[in-house]
Structure 1
Amino acid sequence: MHSGIKKRPTEHVSFRIDKGVLENLKSVSKEEKLSLNTYVNQIFDSHVNWDAHASEIGWVIMLKSALKALIKKADRDTIVEIAKDSAESGAKEIALSMRGKYGIAEWISILKDRARSSGFFIKEYREGNKTRLVMHHDMGENWSLFFRTYYESVFFDLGSKVRADHTENSIVIEIESLN
């Protein structure tokens, strides 16, 4: 293969789609400079790996400006406490519900899907048994602190050596699998 990207096996199927919906899909795929096939596969992947399970395990959609304002008003100690409590009380249930297993790979997958679903930029770098995730958002310092603390707690609980850092609008999480 020229690009070094692994092709996943595919299968040909047919669907009947409302004509108006199909026109909208074609329009968006054209705007995004994607083939209709690629765009529809992205939609299916997002639905199967995120949308179908997110609300049943407690994720909610909220107006971004309201969430930013709420979290900005919280003090650092409260943010850290809520992040640790949330990770401790719900991380295992989230992974089991969304991926069927509570492990490092499953949580990396969940983190990436959640970031994409939220419109955040995320990049994964791998070197040996280390994974570095860099996520950029525009939610502010307290958001970075919350999710840095949350994911540090999750990956530590999973038996990883984890280091994290954050800026006002980004989070860097380095995970070293000790298994």
Structure 2
Amino acid sequence: MYSKSESTTRKSRSITFRLDSNVLDELQYEANNNEISLNVLVNQVLRKYVEWGRYENKLGMMPVPKVMLSSFINETMILAQNNGIFLESYRDELIKFSAKKAYQNIKESVLFMKKKFDLWSVLGVLQEYMKVSGIVSDHKIENSRIHVFVIQHDLGVHWSLFAKELLSLVFYELANVKANIVTTENSTVAEVLL
């Protein structure tokens, strides 16, 4: 979706695997529930592994439930407020710090995964991360040059502000452009001329 140029035709090959019967039964059950063929499901599982799964441990990633992440951020803000810390200033500083750290981490991850570091490889890795994390994202091009990136995360306003800061960094550092970014409680929308 965020790749600048993707092949529209994919080549496929046939191959035979020997699978444990219980694994095969579970895969078939899952395919039936999703109203897809076993072949499609196996392709999805293998693609997810190739695009993301094989890198998770190497990059030090660990699955964290959304509710835990959003409550951690919200509780941090409540603790700050209860301890007399000026909330808006603290929040802004925490978001800027977190976005800078995330950008540094993304740089290392993208270099490791894609062997290059440019705008499109970063956006591609971010899309893969959101996909495996259950975060809905979309990218469309309007008027031939305006790219609209939508992230629907359901993690609260603080996460929206973090996503805004991170995307601002990505577009400025890698494309030398300022993005027009708006946020809601659970979404971030970036429009950028590329």
Distance in 2 separating the partners of 1:160 and 1:42: 35
Aligned length: 173
Which residue is equivalent to 1:90? 105
Q: Report how far residue 91 of structure 1 moved.
A: 2.5
- Which of the pair has more CA radius of gyration? 2
Which residue is equivalent to 1:148? 164
1:118 aligns with 2:120: no
Distance in 1 separating the partners of 2:180 and 2:129: 20
Distance in 2 separating the partners of 1:35 and 1:126: 32
Which residue is equivalent to 2:187? 170
Distance in 2 separating the partners of 1:126 and 1:83: 29
Equivalent pairs: percent with the same residue?
28
Alignment of 1:1-179 (within 5 A): 6-75=8-77, 76-127=91-142, 128-161=144-177, 162-177=179-194
Q: Report how far residue 64 of structure 1 moved.
A: 2.5
Contact 1:79 1:142 in 2 (8 A): no
Alignment gaps of 5+ in structure 2: 1-6, 78-90
List structure 1 runs of 4+ shifted beyond 4 angstroms.
Answer: none
Q: Report how far residue 9 of structure 1 moved.
A: 1.2
Closer, same or farther: CA 21–175 of 1 in aligned 2, 3 Å: farther
Q: Report how far residue 88 of structure 1 moved.
A: 4.2
Distance in 2 separating the partners of 1:122 and 1:163: 17
Query: Which amino acid counterpart does residue 147 of structure 1 have in structure 2?
Result: A
Q: Report how far residue 142 of structure 1 moved.
A: 0.8
Closer, same or farther: CA 70–11 of 1 in aligned 2, 3 Å: same
Post-superposition CA distance 1:41-86 (Å, at most 9, x none): 1111111111111332232211332211111133422432233321
Query: Which amino acid counterpart does residue 12 of structure 2 have in structure 1?
Result: T
Q: 73-82 vs 111-120, which deviates more?
A: 73-82
Q: Report how far residue 119 of structure 1 moved.
A: 1.0
Q: Report how far residue 160 of structure 1 moved.
A: 4.3
Query: Which amino acid counterpart does residue 66 of structure 2 have in structure 1?
Result: K
Alignment gaps of 5+ in structure 1: none
Closer, same or farther: CA 104–175 of 1 in aligned 2, 3 Å: farther
